[in-house]
Amino acid sequence: MKSKIAKYSLFLLDLAIVLFSFLLVAKLRSGTRVIISNYWRSLIPFTLVWIGSGMWGLKYSLGSIDSGAELLKRIFKCNAVAILGIMILMYIFGKFHYSRYIVLGTILSVVLIELFVFVGLYYAFRFHKENKTFASTGLITRSKEMEDLQSPKFYLEEQLQIPTISSEAYIPPFSAAIPEDSIMVPLFQNYLKDYPDLLSFINDFVDISRFSMARTLVLNSETYFNIQNEAESSRHLFINLHKINDFRRLNYYFIRV
């Protein structure tokens, strides 16, 4: 029963494709109303021949087709017979004055739309047949177990506390460097002597005396190349005096630092 319904549905669909193709070609041509009034009578035998060839070649029996290649063979065979029949009728009735644009344009449009629609429907039916369980699954699924896991009872209540911000300078976890090796003096005298505000800010929040010169890197660069060869965890303090707005791939730069 389902196969008969599908067969008749494809029959009606092909009929609609023929009518749509003719109207589309007429719409793309100037004088659409004149074209429709001059060709609508000839469209009737055209449609009968086209649909008849499809029924003769079992083009609408998708259930009896084993592969996509076989479907293409049937479509081309039926359409070739239909085109031959249409040309013979035009010769018999002397319709040599018909516009090649209208006739060939309608034929080409029907063939292209049929290939797209029929092949798509064939693989859709085939997928539904071979994967009935998956195909019957709705687009939106609900799981009682997942909903229970996301319910509020599975989340621990967090105690809301206002974080406190310490005004004391940060003390690194490693021991203080000896004065001769500390980076403090070079920062004050060389690197940051032209940046008093920056130096004051760093000194207020970080105990600079604990950083040694060997473990500190100070540079003024906008390229990632200058730090990519630095070994991981080889520096305790990193200062780049260049504006970060000039950096390319800024996030990658920060990750590396």
Q: Which pLDDT belongs to residue 1?
A: 45
Residue 169 is classified by DSSP as P
Q: What is the mean pLDDT of residues 173-181?
A: 61
User: What distance in Å separates the CA atoms of residue 103 and residue 105, rounded to the nearest whole number?
Assistant: 5
Q: Which pLDDT belongs to residue 108?
A: 93
57-71, 100-114, 157-171, range with the lowest pLDDT: 157-171
Q: Which residues of 123-147 are buried (b: 16+ CB within 10 A; e: fewer)?
A: eeebeeeeeeeeeeeeeeeeeeeee
User: What distance in Å separates the CA atoms of residue 79 and residue 152, rounded to the nearest whole number?
Assistant: 63
- Give the residue among 24, 32, 10, 14 at the shortest CA–CA distance from 109: 24
51-55, 97-101, 128-132, 180-184, range with the lowest pLDDT: 180-184
Q: What is the mean pLDDT of residues 37-55?
A: 89
Model confidence at 179, pLDDT cuts 50, 70, 90, reads low
Model confidence at 175, pLDDT cuts 50, 70, 90, reads low
Token pair 């539904």: residue: 128
Contacts for 20 with CB less than 8 Å, ≥ 6 apart = 109, 113
Q: Which pLDDT belongs to residue 209?
A: 73
Domain-by-domain residue ranges, the chain? 2-133, 184-256
Q: What is the mean pLDDT of residues 34-46?
A: 88
Top-confidence residue, 242 or 176: 242
8-17, 126-135, 175-184, 238-247, range with the lowest pLDDT: 175-184
For the chain, percent of residues with pLDDT exceeding 70: 71
Contacts for 209 with CB less than 8 Å, ≥ 6 apart = 176, 177, 179, 182, 184
Model confidence at 247, pLDDT cuts 50, 70, 90, reads low
Mean pLDDT of the chain: 77
Structure tokens at 255: 């990750």
pLDDT in tens, 57-78: 888 887 788 888 888 898 899 9
